[in-house]
Amino acid sequence: MAGHGHGPGPVPGNGGKKLAEATLILPLLGAAFLMPAFLNLFAHRSRLFGLPLEVLYLFFVWFALVLAAFLVSRRLKSDAPSAAPERHAEHERPTGIG
């Protein structure tokens, strides 16, 4: 079944785009997990390890978001026009007008 001539790995150049699209899931999922519907699942006046459950949940979501953003930002390819600031990039423009 497998193998219509493709290599086993992901097609180069496509992975970055897919990952970029996938980053949309982070804020959306984060927002969903922070909606009252979710939060109130954990806000029923109980304690875990001696700490209020809702506090632990919020910090957990927060930490997971930071971690995910860290991993994504390391893997996502840059498409910035130039690493140098704009002012320096200017010098790379073709001159010789007139």
Partner 1 sequence: MLSPDLVILTAVAYVGLLFLLAYLSDARARRSDAGFLRSPFIYTLSISVYCTSWTFYGAVGTAARSGLEFMAIYMGPTLVFVGWWFVLRKLIRISHAQRITSVADLLSSRFGKSSHLAVLVTLIAVITITPYIALQLKAITTSIQAVSLAKSGGGLDDVQLALGVAIGMAGFTILFGTRNVDAREQHHGVVAAIAFEAVVKLLALIAVGIFVVFSLGGGPVAVFDRAVAAGLDIHEQAPFGSRWVTVLLLSACAVICLPRQFQITVVENSNEDHLRTASWAFPGYMLVMSLFIAPIALYGLATMPAGSNPDMFVLTLPMSAGHDWLALFAFIGGFSSATSMIIVASIALSIMVSNHIVVPIALRHSGNLEAAGERGIARLLLRARRISIAALLGLGFLYFLLAGDSNALAQIGLISFAGVAQLLPAMIAALYWREATLRGAFAGISAGFVVWAWTSFLPSFGTSAETVAALMREGPWGIRLLRPEALFGMEGLDPLVHSVFWSLFFNVTTLVFVSLTTSQGVMERIQAALFVDVFRRGAGAQPHLIHASVTTEELFFVAERVLGWTRAKAFFEEYDVPRSHGVESFVASPDFIAELERALASSIGSASAHILLSKVVAGDIITLEEVMRIAGETQQVIEYSHELEQTSQELRETAQKLREANALLHELHRQKDDFLSQVSHEVRTPMTSIRSFSEILLTENDLNAASRERFVSTIHRESVRLTRLLDEILDLNALEHGERSWDNVPVDAELVLDRAIAVCEALAQQKGMRIENGPRAARGVVSTDADRLSQVFINVIANAIAHNDAPAPRVRIESRIEGGNYVVDIADNGSGIPEEFRRTIFDKFVRAGRSAAGSAPTSGLGLGLNISYKIMEKMQGRLELVDMPRPGACFRLTLPLLRQPAEA
Site residues for partner 1 per CB under 8 A: 20, 23-24, 26-28, 30-31, 34-36, 39-40, 43, 45, 47, 49-52, 54-55, 58-59, 62-63, 65-70, 72-74, 76, 78-81, 83-87, 90-91, 95-98
Least distance in angstroms from the C-beta of 3 to partner 1: 25
Least distance in angstroms from the C-beta of 15 to partner 1: 15
Q: Which is nearer to partner 1, 1 or 83 (CB)?
A: 83
CA angle, 26 then 31 then 37, to 5° = 135
Least distance in angstroms from the C-beta of 85 to partner 1: 4
Instruction: Output the DSSP codes for 43-87.
Output: -SS-EETTEEHHHHHHHHHHHHHHHHHHHHHHHSPP--S-SS-HH
User: What does DSSP say about strands 51-52 and 47-48: parallel, antiparallel, or unpaired?
Assistant: antiparallel
